[in-house]
Amino acid sequence: MKILDKIGLVVFSSIVLLLSLALILTIAEWLDLKLVLNAVEYIVTNKVAARVTFGVCVVLILLAIKTIFLNSDAKSTRHLHSCWQEGHQIAGRKVIE
């Protein structure tokens, strides 16, 4: 994995962990729902916080698109290229006799 893939994995894993914990704590009533709503309201209404959040969201969206659709593993792309040159499908069956 390249460094950008590792960073993306860590960032998205951390976000999922935090959101899951917040949701579980809110459902179990250990975390007050008003506290969560006040935090979201502050992020939306404060100009500076809204701009920073918007920028972070754009970067995360681009990182997600890159991580999902662009494979940076050179070994797998080399293997794919060699399979097509030899006339094999991905599953390994011979296409060109």
CB atoms within 10 A of CB 8: 18
pTM score, two decimals?
0.62
Query: pLDDT band at residue 14, thresholds of 50, 70 and 90?
Result: very high
At 6 the pLDDT is: 87
Cα–Cα distance, 4 to 72 (Å, whole number):
9
What percent of the chain has pLDDT above 70? 72
Cα–Cα distance, 72 to 8 (Å, whole number):
13
pLDDT in tens, 52-78: 999 999 999 998 898 888 876 655 555
